[in-house]
Amino acid sequence: MSAHVKSGFKEWIFTTDHKRIGILYLVGSITAFCLSGIMAVLIRLELWSLGPTITDDPTTYNVWLYMHGAVMILGFQIPALTGWFANYLAPLQIGAKDVAFPRLNAFSLWLFWAGVVLALLTFVVPDPPDVMWTGYPPYSVVTSGNTALYSFTVLVMGFSSIAGGINLIATIIFMRAPGMAWGKLNMFIWTVLAAFTIQLIFVPVLGSAVTMVLFDKYLGATFFNPGMGGDVLIYQNLFWFYSHPAVYVILLPGIGMIFEIVATFSRNRIFNFKVAVYGGVGVLVLITGEVWVHHLYTSGLADWLRVFQMVTTLMISVPVGILMISLVGTLRGGAIDYKTPMLYGVGFIFVFLVGGLTGIPLAMASLDLAVHDTHFVVAHFHFVMAVSMTFAIMGGTYYLFPKMSGRMYSETLGRTGFWLFLIGVFVTFGTMFFVGLDGMPRRYYDYQMFPQLENLHKVQTIGTMIIGLAVITILISWIHGLVAGEKAPSNPWGSRSLEWDTTSPPGPGNFGGRSIVVPDDWDPYCYDKPGRTL
Amino acid sequence: MKNLFLTWIMAVVLCFYSAVCHAEYGRVPKSEFDPETIKIDEEKYLGSPVEKNYVFINEKGREFTLGDMLDKPLILVLSYYACDGVCSAVNASLMNALSGIGLKPGRDYRALTVSFDRNDGLESLAMFKKHLQIPERLGAAWELAVAKNYKDMESLTRGLGYNFFWSTRDRIFFHPNALVFLSPGGRVVRYLYTAGMSNKDVELSILDASRDQAGKSNITDLGSAFLIACYSYNFKEGKYSLNYPLFIGAGSLLSGVALLGISMVVMARQGRNQKKNKKQMANDK
Amino acid sequence: MKKIFMALTAAFMLHTASAKSVFANEGRKAGAIADPAEGWSRLFHEVLVDVTIMGVIFAAITIYYMLKYKRKSPDQVGSCKKLSAAQMWGWALIPAFVFMADDFFLAANTWSLWNIYRKPPAGSYEIEVRAEMWSWNFIYPGGAAAVNELRVPAGKPIALRMTSSDVVHSLYLSDFKVKEDCMPGRVTYYWFYPKVPGEHVLTCTEYCGAMHSGMYGKVIVMPQEEFDNWLKKETKA
Ligand code: HEM
Ligand SMILES: [Cu+2]
Ligand SMILES: [Cu+2]
C-alpha cells in the first residue's frame, strides 16, 4: 500500500473503502468456511462407521449439520460472492472511485460480522439450534433447541445483503465511469446486478417466514400450527420461494467470476457474450421465481402444481446450457495458460457439469419421488452449488490475490491445493450418489438400516480428509503469498479488463487520481489489439 | 436472549393458564352425559373412504346407492326423523347456509340426509321432509333417505367415527351436530359442526371436498380457487380462518419489489440532480 | 464446431426418437397393473444413459479445446473472433430448441409415470399410517395395528393413507421407489406394489429431530394366506 495510506487496526475497522470492506468480507467468509468445514469433517467422521462413532448424541450431530448448512450458505458463499467479490471487483471494473454509499457498505459489512457472531453463539448457548438450515415448522416450533438463534442469524444476514444490494445496484447504475456504456460492461457486472436484483426481491419473503416461526415458538402465535388454523405447508413454500432464488444469488456472481477467469487466461473474447447475458443471466432471473416446488415434490402439494413446476424446472436447462456453451466456447481459439485460477475455472466446468446433469433426474418429479431427501440430493447440490461455487470463490481469490495484496502466491502450492480439492470432491461426492441411490436418507446420524453401505461411507470420509488437506494447502499458499510472495506487477495475468489498469493494490480512489474516461471502442475482452492504459 | 424469551413464554403461558382456569370455574355439568363420548376423532377419520354400495330409499321409494350421489362433493347429514329438536336444526342450518352461498346445487355439490334411527321409515321421512321445506333450488340436489338395510347405517356411522346413543332419560338421541363432507372419490374431507358455523365455512368445505385425492379440482372459476387458497381450516375452533402466512408472504414479496422500485426511482432522481449540478458548475467556470 | 454440434444434435434426436417408447407398451395387457417401481427403474436408466451421453460429449469437447488451445508462447493471444448476427442467433436458438425438446420429452415421460404413481389401482388394500416422533403406526382395516413393521400381502397393490400427530415426517420405501410427507392436519397418500414375499427397509426422510435416523422399520411382504392369518390374530387382540 502506498506510504501515505495508514493501515492500522483502527483504519481497517472504520474503513469505508470498498476494497478494504471487500477484504474484510473475505476474511469473515473464509473464517465461516473453515468453521463449517470443520463441521463437515465432524459429520463425515460420525458417519465413518455404523452406530455411534465420535458422538453418541444424535442432537450433537444435528447441531453440527445445522451449523454446516446454515453457515456455509449464509456465512460463506453469499458473503464471499456478493460481499467480497462484488465489493472489491465491481467498482474497479466500472471505473468508479468507490461504491455509491460507502458508509452503508461498512454498515452491511458489520451486520454480516454480527451474523457470523450469532452463528458462532451456537457453540455457546445451552440448547443450540437443531433445525437444519431449512428450519421447517412444526419441528422448529416444538424443538427444545434455540430456534431464535436461527431466525436472527437469517434476519441479520438478510438485512446485511439488502443493504449491500441497494448499494451495488446503485453503484453499477450510476457510478460507471464516463463512457462506460451498458454494452461495455464485464460479464461479472451483469451477474452481480442480476444476483442483487433477485436478492432484493426475495429476501423479505424468507425474512417473514422465519419471523413467523419466531412468533409461533416464543409468542404463542399459530401461523404454522395446523390444529389452530395454521398451515404446515405454507412455510415450506415461502422458504423455497426465497431459497431457490438464493441458489442463483450464489450461482450468478460465481459464474460471472469464472467467466472473467476463463476469458483472461484464454486471452479470448467471451463466446456469444450478448446471448449469455440476455439468454443466460437474464432468463435465469426471470425463471427463478417459478421453480420452487421442485423442492416440494414429495410434500403432498396439489399434483397440478408439482407437475407444472416440473416443466419450469426442466426449462432451467436452457439458460444454464447457454451459459455453459459460452464458457466452453471461450476456450475455443484461445491461448490458455493453466495458472491456478484457470485450473479452478476449468475445474468448475466439470464439477458443474456433473451437478447439472444429475439435476435432470431430480427435476423429473416421478424420479424425485425415490431420491428426494437422500444423499443423492446432497451429492447433487454439493456438485452444482457447494463445490462449484467454492471453486469460483477459490479461483477468484487466487485471481484477485496479486491485485488485493500486491504479492504473488506460490503456483506450486496453489496447484497442489487445486488437485487435492478436485480429487477429494470426486471421491467424496461421487460416492455419495451411489449411497443415495441405495436409499440412504439425508440428515441421518446413523445408518443401522443400511449396514451394506458402510464401506462407501468410509470412502466418503477419506475423500473429505483429502478436501481438508486441500483447504489447508490453500490457506498456507495464501499466507505464504502474503508474507513471502514476490511483488506483484499491476497486471500479472495480462488481462484487458479495467480492474488491472491500476497499481497492485490500488490506492484510495482506485486509479491513482486518474479520472477514467472510457473510449468508444472499449471492450474488456479485447485481446486482438494491443493493451492500453486509460 | 434466551432468558428474555423464557420470560416471554412464562408470561404467555401464565395468561393462558389464568384464562383457562377462569373459564373452567363455574362450569357445572348439565346432565350425566359427557359430550366427549360423541366427539368425532377427526384426525383419525379424515381421508378415510366410505363404502359406496350402501342402498338408500328416498321418500318416493326410489332406491339409490351412496356411490350414485358421489359424482360431486357430497354433504352428508346424519340425522333422525322423529325428532323435532336438534336434527332438523342441523338440516335447517345447512339449508340456510346453502341458500346463502353462490355455489350451484347439483353442479357444484349434492347433499344427502340419512337417518341413523332404526325406527325411521318412509312415513316419518315424508313427514320430516314436508316439515323441513327445502326450497326448490336445493331440492333437486338434496336427497333425504333411509337405509334399505339398517346394518349399512351401522357400518356407515362406524366408518365415519360418528357415535350416537339414545338417552332414555331425556328421550332423545345424543349425537354430534356435524356435517360430513365427502369428496367425489368418497373420502371424508371435513367435519363441520353446525354450532357457530358460517356460510363461508360451508362454502369452503365444499370447495375443499371438490378436490379429489390427487388435488385435482373440479373448481373451474378463479374466484373459488383464490378463495380456497386464502383460508385454512382451524381444527380447534372448527371453522375456517384466513391463511395469514400466505398474506404476510405475499406482502413481503411486494415490499421486496417496492424496495427495488423505490430505490431505483430515488437513485435515478439523485443521479439526475448530480449531473445537473456538475453541468452547472462547468457552466459557472 | 458447427459440424460437431450438428452431429450432436442428430445423435440426440435419434436417441430421443428411439427412446420415445419408454411407456408405449403401457397398456400391454389390459387390466394388468403397472408397477411404479418398475417404471421408475426403466425411466431412471433411460435418463441416466441420456445424461451420460450428453456429459461425455460435453466433457470430451471441453478437454479437446483445453488441450488444443494451450498457450504456446508468453504473448500469444486468442483469436478473439466475433460472431456474425446469424451465428449469434444460431448459437442461441438451436441449443435452446434442443434443450427444450429434451425437456418436453422428459416431462412427457415423467407425466405418464406420475399418473401411475398417483393413481392407486382400484381394489388396492388401504392401510392407515400415523407418524409420530419417532415411530410409525400402521392401522389396518378392521383395527389391527402395528408399530414400525408394515406387513403387507404379496401380489396386491397397497395404498397408504398418511398423517402425522406431531411434526412433518416422510415415509420412504427405498425398494419401492416412493415416498411422501406425513403432516399433521393433512392427509397424503401413495401406493406401491409388493409382488414377492420378502423384507424391505422403510425410513423417515423428513428431518424430525433427535431420533430422525432411528425412525426406521421394515416392510414385510408375506404370502396372502400368512398375512390373512396374521391379520386375523391381530384384529382379535
Ligand atoms: C468441503 C467439503 C464438504 C463436505 C465434506 C460436506 C459434507 C456434507 C455432508 C456429508 C452433508 C450431509 C449430511 C447429512 O445429510 O447427514 C452435507 C450437507 C450440506 N452441505 Fe456440505 N459439505 C462440504 C462443503 C459444503 C459447502 C462448500 C457448502 C456450501 C453451500 C455445503 C452446504 C451444505 C448444505 C446446505 C447441506 C445440507 C444441510 C442440511 O441438510 O440441512 N457443504 N455436507
Ligand atoms: Cu431450487
Ligand atoms: Cu424423520
**DSSP notation for C52-72:** HHHHHHHHHHHHHHHHHTB--
Q: Are residues B144 and B195 in the same domain?
A: yes
Percent of all residues in chain C with a pLDDT value above 90, rounded to a whole number? 51
CA distance A130 to A140: 8
Contact C80 A299 (CB under 8 A): no
| 3-class DSSP state of A120 | helix
Average pLDDT of span B183-187: 84
Shortest CA distance from A358: residue in chain C: C51
The answer to whether residue A9 sits within a structural domain is no
Contact C54 A357 (CB under 8 A): yes
CATH classification of the domain holding A68: 1.20.210.10
Residue C179, pLDDT above cutoff 90: yes
The full 3-state SS of A451-502, as one line of letters, equals HHHHHHHHHHHHHHHHHHHHHHHHHHHHHHHHHHCCECCCCCCCCCCHHHCC
Q: List pocket residues of ligand 1, CB cut-off 6 Å.
A: A 37, 40, 43-44, 65, 68-69, 72-73, 77, 132-134, 378, 382, 385-386, 390, 428, 442-444, 464, 467
Q: Are residues B69 and B105 in the same domain?
A: yes
Mode of pairing for the β-strands spanning C125-132 and C135-139: antiparallel
The answer to whether residue B225 sits within a structural domain is yes
Q: Are residues B256 and B125 in the same domain?
A: no
Cell matching residue B55: 342402498
Residue C25, pLDDT above cutoff 80: no
Helix (H) / strand (E) element for C159: namely strand C158-164
Question: By the 8 A CB rule, do C227 and C141 touch?
Answer: no
Question: By the 8 A CB rule, do A524 and A184 touch?
Answer: yes
Spell out which residues of chain B touch residue A100, defining contact as CB-CB under 8 Å.
Answer: 267
The residue written with cell numbers 470430451 in the block is: C60
Residue C108, pLDDT above cutoff 60: yes
Q: Are residues B210 and B254 in the same domain?
A: no
Q: What share of chain A is helix, strand, coil (3-state, %, to 5)?
A: 70, 0, 30
The answer to whether residue A290 sits within a structural domain is yes
The residue written with cell numbers 416412493 in the block is: C178
The answer to whether residue B136 sits within a structural domain is yes
Of A300, A310, A494, the CB nearest to C180: A300
Region for residue A220 given its phi and psi (left: phi exceeds 0; alpha: psi -120 to 50; beta: otherwise): left
Peptide bond into A138 cis (omega under 30): yes
Give burial (CB, 10 Å; 0-12/13-18/19+) of A452: exposed
Question: By the 8 A CB rule, do B188 and B45 touch?
Answer: yes
Q: Are residues B196 and B125 in the same domain?
A: yes
The answer to whether residue B113 sits within a structural domain is yes
Banded pLDDT at C31 (limits 50, 70, 90) = low
Give, to the nearest 10 degrees, the angle between helix B86-99 and helix B199-209: 80
CA distance A319 to A38: 35
Amino acid sitting at position A74: L
Rounded average pLDDT per 10-residue block, chain A, 534 residues: 59 85 93 94 93 89 94 94 93 89 91 92 90 91 90 92 90 88 91 93 91 90 83 90 92 95 92 91 91 90 84 91 93 91 95 94 93 95 95 95 92 94 95 94 93 94 96 95 90 89 86 84 85 77
How many domains are contained in chain B?
2
The answer to whether residue B266 sits within a structural domain is yes
Q: Are residues B47 and B184 in the same domain?
A: yes
Predicted pLDDT at B249? 84
Shortest CA distance from A176: residue in chain B: B271
The answer to whether residue A107 sits within a structural domain is yes
The answer to whether residue A515 sits within a structural domain is no
Q: What residues contact residue B25 under an 8 Å CB cut-off, 6+ apart? A: none
Percent of all residues in chain B with a pLDDT value above 90, rounded to a whole number? 0
CA distance A488 to B157: 85
Region for residue A95 given its phi and psi (left: phi exceeds 0; alpha: psi -120 to 50; beta: otherwise): left
- Ligand nearest to the Cα of C210, by number: 3
Predicted pLDDT at C5? 54
First to last CA, chain B: 59
- Ligand nearest to the Cα of A467, by number: 1
- CB of A333 within 8 Å of a chain C CB? The answer is yes
Cell matching residue B224: 373459488
- CB of A132 within 8 Å of a chain C CB? The answer is yes
Residues in chain C: 237
Q: Please report the number of interchain residue pairs, chain B to chain C, with beta-carbon separation below 8 angstroms.
A: 16
Query: pLDDT tens digits for B128-166?
Result: 887 777 888 888 888 888 888 888 888 888 888 888 877
Question: By the 8 A CB rule, do A129 and A215 touch?
Answer: no
The answer to whether residue B237 sits within a structural domain is no
Domain that holds residue A223: 16-500
Spell out which residues of chain A touch residue B1, defining contact as CB-CB under 8 Å.
Answer: 148-149
Give burial (CB, 10 Å; 0-12/13-18/19+) of A4: exposed
Distance A313 CA to ligand 2 centre (A): 8
Residue B2, pLDDT above cutoff 50: no
- The preferred substitution site among A68, A77, A462 for testing ligand 1, maximizing ligand atoms within 8 Å of CB, is A68
The answer to whether residue A369 sits within a structural domain is yes
Residue nearest to atom 14 of ligand 1 (CA): A443
Shortest CA distance from C116: residue in chain B: B214
Domain that holds residue B143: 35-231
CA distance A332 to C69: 7
The answer to whether residue A50 sits within a structural domain is yes
Q: Are residues B270 and B189 in the same domain?
A: no
Helix (H) / strand (E) element for C224: namely helix C224-236
Provide the β-strand partners of residue C221. C152, C198
Distance A370 CA to ligand 2 centre (A): 17
Residue nearest to atom 42 of ligand 1 (CA): A386
Ligand 1 atom nearest to A444, measured from its CA: 16
Query: pLDDT tens digits for B220-244?
Result: 566 676 777 788 887 777 778 888 8
Of B2, B260, B267, the CB nearest to A201: B260
The residue written with cell numbers 481438508 in the block is: A468
Predicted pLDDT at C23? 46
Shortest CA distance from C185: residue in chain B: B43
| 3-class DSSP state of A213 | helix
The answer to whether residue B28 sits within a structural domain is no
Q: Are residues B118 and B170 in the same domain?
A: yes
Predicted pLDDT at A1? 41
Contact B48 C128 (CB under 8 A): yes
Q: Are residues B250 and B171 in the same domain?
A: no
Predicted pLDDT at A334? 87
Contact B232 A229 (CB under 8 A): yes
C-alpha dist (Å) from residue B146 to A99, B72, B154: 80, 20, 12
Ligand 1 atom nearest to A375, measured from its CA: 15
Question: By the 8 A CB rule, do C162 and C194 touch?
Answer: no
Ligand 1 atom nearest to A73, measured from its CA: 30
Predicted pLDDT at A156? 94
Residue nearest to atom 11 of ligand 1 (CA): A378
Spell out which residues of chain A touch residue C148, defining contact as CB-CB under 8 Å.
Answer: none
Give burial (CB, 10 Å; 0-12/13-18/19+) of A10: exposed
Q: Are residues B110 and B142 in the same domain?
A: yes
Of B2, B251, B259, the CB nearest to A125: B2
The answer to whether residue B164 sits within a structural domain is yes
Provide the β-strand partners of residue C189. C161
Contact partners for chain A, using 3 or more CB pairs closer than 8 A, are: B, C
Distance A240 CA to ligand 1 centre (A): 18
The full 3-state SS of A332-399, as one line of letters, equals CCCCECCCHHHHHHHHHHHHHHHHHHHHHHHHCHHHHHHHCCEHHHHHHHHHHHHHHHHHHHHHHHHH
How many domains are contained in chain A?
1
Contact C47 A138 (CB under 8 A): no
**Interior angle at CA A347, CA A346 and CA A350, nearest 5:** 95
Shortest CA distance from A145: residue in chain B: B2
The answer to whether residue B73 sits within a structural domain is yes
Question: By the 8 A CB rule, do A45 and A461 touch?
Answer: yes
Average pLDDT of span C150-162: 92
Cell matching residue A254: 460465481
Distance A287 CA to ligand 2 centre (A): 11
The answer to whether residue A489 sits within a structural domain is yes
